[in-house]
Amino acid sequence: MYRKEKFSVAFKLECIKLHKNSHRSIESIATEKGFNESNLRKWIGFYNKYGTLGLQPRKNRSYSLNFKIKVLKAIETEHLSQREACIRFDIAAQSTVLSWQRDYEKSGILGLKNTPKGRPRIMSDYKRKKRKSDKPLTREEELLLENERLRAEIDFLKKLDALTLKKNKQRPSKD
């Protein structure tokens, strides 16, 4: 499923043809049509490299770690701009390359690894309760459960006694 594009392929082609055929500046075409000139520069680059396919809307892509490293190395060694790198490697947005650069500067190669997006499927500290089985408990298991309950009750009563003693000590005695 494609996301909604602001500009159609026909509109992009019209602007590119207007620039090539009428020899008008990119600035003048962009102001006349009401968009930023950097868009037209990007469209022209994609059109020159990939033809009309370069103007088609793109799906959200995920890029491999090796591809990201390849792009960043090409930018550094060949001194490419982000726009040039996007056109050369067929990446839709410059912001994608910018975020890769930031992640690489911040965390190195580990920052470029693809991380799953959204909410995790299972919460990590969640433990499922044991299902009660249909078979009845043995006498030993019943005694163990009763023993646990009695220990919990004794612990509760000891804690209650300790709190009441502490409360009585804090009250000033009336003599």
Tell me the pLDDT tens digit for each residue of 76-132. Answer: 999 988 888 988 888 888 888 999 999 888 888 888 888 777 877 766 665 666 666
Is residue 142 situated within a structural domain? no
- Residue 18 CA, chain-centre distance (Å), reads 39
- 15 and 29 belong to one structural domain: yes
- 4 and 53 belong to one structural domain: yes
Indicate whether 70 pLDDT > 60: yes
Is residue 79 situated within a structural domain? yes
Q: What is the dihedral of CA 18, 20, 25, 27, to 10 degrees?
A: 60
Q: Which residues contact 44 (CB under 8 A, 6 or more apart)?
A: 16, 19, 26
Residue 46 has what pLDDT? 83
- Give me the number of domains the chain comprises: 2
Is residue 45 situated within a structural domain? yes
Q: Closest Cα to residue 99, out of 72, 118, 81?
A: 72
User: Mean pLDDT lowest for which of 14-18, 47-51, 75-79, 132-136?
Assistant: 132-136
Residue 160 has what pLDDT? 93
Domain residues for the domain of 3 are 1-59
CB 133 within 8 A of CB 141: no
- Which of 38, 59, 80 is the last residue before a domain boundary? 59
Is residue 12 situated within a structural domain? yes
Is residue 10 situated within a structural domain? yes
Q: Closest Cα to residue 40, out of 91, 74, 32?
A: 32
- 69 and 99 belong to one structural domain: yes
Q: The pTM is what?
A: 0.56
